[in-house]
Structure 1
Amino acid sequence: MHTITAARPITWRLPVVLLGISGLRLDRGTRYRPARLLLFTATAALYYLLTPVLTTPAVATAYATAVWLLYYGGLSLTLGGPGRTALIARFGEDRAYAVYEVALGLLFMNQSFAQAVVIYAYGDSLPAAIPSWAAYVIGAALMAAGTFAKVWAACTVGLDTYYCRDMFAGRPLKDADGLVVAGPYRYLRNPMYGAGNLHAYGWAVWSRSLEGLAFAAAFQLGIYLFYHFSERPFIERAYVRS
């Protein structure tokens, strides 16, 4: 996930970062790369096949709600509960992290697709008083700003931090310098959680989806709850007080 703690800032190649924040990591070795690619491709194909069903309003709402619960509930239970220690005890830290990051990558994919199907299912629900040109202009501006902020932040902290590797290990990474103050972190405390989520609002505005705006807010609230109850206590314990 996106955390304000990190190892020494690293600039990744843009395509690797874009795929990484979408759920597919190609920066971690080659042994499991074919399996990761196959899983990513198969999941995307399954989304495509199920789109006619998932984009009906009732199913889209249920699917997005389930993803919200699995994403933030599962993340909190794994990183802040017994899930992490159980995985490490079963597989060892390196293999356990590999399992965790694949599962988290799938949740990243589902989070994006869940918001997409809600927006599609509930398109054109904004008040008619808002002209289409305004929705397109505002939506495009928000999508551009949010995507730029998220990619910039991910390039600054690296994908290991994006996937909360330090929290999974329960300690700072080996080359950690503490809190990041470079890139967008010079201006914002949580650029991924704040500005980085503007793209979801922009997509909803572009599609004139009132329900899409509501789910974008719900997913942003979920990540801030995770930060408040799980991530910030870890940051203070591992980086601030150490």
Structure 2
Amino acid sequence: MHTITAAATRTTAWRWPVILLGISGLRLDRGTRYRPARLLLFVLTAALYYLLTPVLTTPAVATAYAATVWLLYYGGLSLTLGGPGRTALIARFGEDRAYALYEVALGVLFMNQGFAQAVVIYAYGDSLPAAVPSWAAYAAGAALMAVGTFYKLWAARTAGLDTYYCRDMFMGRPIGDASELVVAGPYRHLRNPMYGAGNLHAYGWALWSHSLEGLAVAAAFQLGIYLFYHLCERPFIERAYVRK
């Protein structure tokens, strides 16, 4: 998501809490029809996480859970947006309903992505080499969490939550005014701030928790999103926006 349309820069007026909830898996900016169902699913999923935390934070289960989420998230997203998944959904339900279903499913995966990294960090805390001073891990971790969270929110606000949820890719065409591509906000000086600097918070959390395995999982999830970008998203951008 390193490029955005002119319409996105004009219409992005989300409040920061709405953006934060949106990138966490709960969209409150999309009408009212599906809002109660989204909110209920979000609350029930969060409650389930809480109840299962004692099990999920054991090292073996945390590792298996993170691997499963990685496969479901990046594999499912690639098959849906880069394969026959979206066309099958649209043929079955129509564009609007199909996108609503996809959007809810993707929101659940967003939640699981964050929680999977959290349980690995918790399960493998205090595993950094003893040579790394605690003060350095805390300082670097706090800085990375602050920078990463700032860039993730800034990029999501600039591009819009529809872009964050890959709505144009799901529809198979540019949404809104696609007459030109513009660079704004963090995209003015970073090609892909959402996937790059926006993921620094995961490394920061791992450092703060002194988790070597947490750093590895953060890297694995960032690698996954870049694979998705190069294999699915970038070809779509070049086809739909760049090539006239």
TM over 0.5: yes
Contact in 2 for aligned 1:97/1:168 (Cα 8 Å)? yes
Contact in 2 for aligned 1:3/1:231 (Cα 8 Å)? no
Q: Which amino acid aligns with 1:8?
A: A
> 2:99: which partner in 1?
97
How is 1:13-24 mapped onto 2 (pairs within 5 angstroms)? 13-24=15-26
List alignment gaps of at least 5 residues for structure 2: none
> 2:8: which partner in 1?
8
The question of 1:184 aligning with 2:186 is answered yes
Contact in 2 for aligned 1:93/1:169 (Cα 8 Å)? yes
Q: Which amino acid aligns with 1:151?
A: L
CA deviation string 1:110-155 (max 9, x = no partner): 0000000000000000011111111111000000000000100011
- Counterpart Cα distance in 2 of 1:178 and 1:118: 42
> 1:144: which partner in 2?
146
- Counterpart Cα distance in 2 of 1:22 and 1:180: 26
Task: Give the direction of change, closer, same or farther, for the CA distance of 1:82–1:170 in structure 2 (3 Å limit).
Answer: same
Task: Give the direction of change, closer, same or farther, for the CA distance of 1:13–1:71 in structure 2 (3 Å limit).
Answer: same
Q: Which amino acid aligns with 1:27?
A: D
Q: Aligned pairs, how many?
A: 241
Counterpart among 210, 215, 218 of residue 217 in structure 2: 215
CA deviation string 1:189-225 (max 9, x = no partner): 1000000000000000000000000000000000000
CA deviation string 1:31-62 (max 9, x = no partner): 11111111000000000000000000000000
CA deviation string 1:143-170 (max 9, x = no partner): 0000000100011010000000000000
List alignment gaps of at least 5 residues for structure 1: none
TM-score (ref. length: structure 2): 0.97
SS in 2 for 1:8: helix
Contact in 1 for aligned 2:181/2:241 (Cα 8 Å)? yes
Contact in 1 for aligned 2:2/2:191 (Cα 8 Å)? no
Shift of 1:179: 3.0
> 1:63: which partner in 2?
65
The question of 1:50 aligning with 2:52 is answered yes
- Counterpart Cα distance in 2 of 1:121 and 1:202: 16
CA RMSD of aligned residues (A): 1.0
TM-score (ref. length: structure 1): 0.97
> 2:167: which partner in 1?
165
- Counterpart Cα distance in 1 of 2:223 and 2:176: 31
Shift of 1:174: 2.1
Contact in 1 for aligned 2:2/2:193 (Cα 8 Å)? no
SS in 2 for 1:202: helix
SS in 2 for 1:34: helix
* Sequence identity percentage: 84
- Counterpart Cα distance in 1 of 2:148 and 2:141: 11
